[in-house]
Amino acid sequence: MTDSSKKAQVTELQKMLRAVSYIHKDVPRINPDGVFDKETTDALRIFQRQMGLAPTGTADFATWNALRAESALAQNYASGGNSVSIFPSADYVAKPGEKSSLVYVIQVMLGDISHTYDGLENVEVTGVYDEATCDGVKLFQHYHRMEETGNVDRKTWDALAASYNVFANNNNYIS
């Protein structure tokens, strides 16, 4: 094994230890530098103890697998969790009169982004695709230069979801 590949493996180990430190508070947060030093060994021992492994300070097969699993959990935790795909299908169209969980989500998204679009009112969340929901969708479509049908097809859904992801929890955009 070359020195550069050893350094790459140590860096990967350190990155996983760093990720794990966000959910295992006793594991010190180390900086990945590719050097297997005392700081890395100590962090690894603490992690091994927490996982019920022998605290050797070496990255054996069991430790490596535990680190990979825990760092994946930590990354999922840090990212805010898994997303949910709620839009039924590419050819589905939500229309006035519909009563469904999809309409609840549309109404929540419209309400949460209403502060970023002039004239877009906070829609009452009822799960019923009513006139206020239709008007909100039309205004949203207008701002995005879409045909103003008031229906939520895949194109409108994608634009609405993208706007929600950008604006809903971004305090820089709250007026």
- What structural domains and CATH numbers belong to the chain? 3-78 (no CATH), 101-173 (1.10.101)
The count of other CB atoms within 10 Å of the CB of residue 101 is 9
pTM, full prediction: 0.55
The confidence score (pLDDT) of residue 9 equals 93
* Cα–Cα separations (whole angstroms), residue 31 to 9, 10, 92, 133, 160: 14, 11, 48, 49, 39
Is there a contact between 40 and 18 (Cβ–Cβ < 8 Å)? no
Residue 88's contacts (CB-CB under 8 Å, 6 or more residues apart) are 102
SS3 99: strand
Residues of the chain with pLDDT under 70: 78-82, 168-175
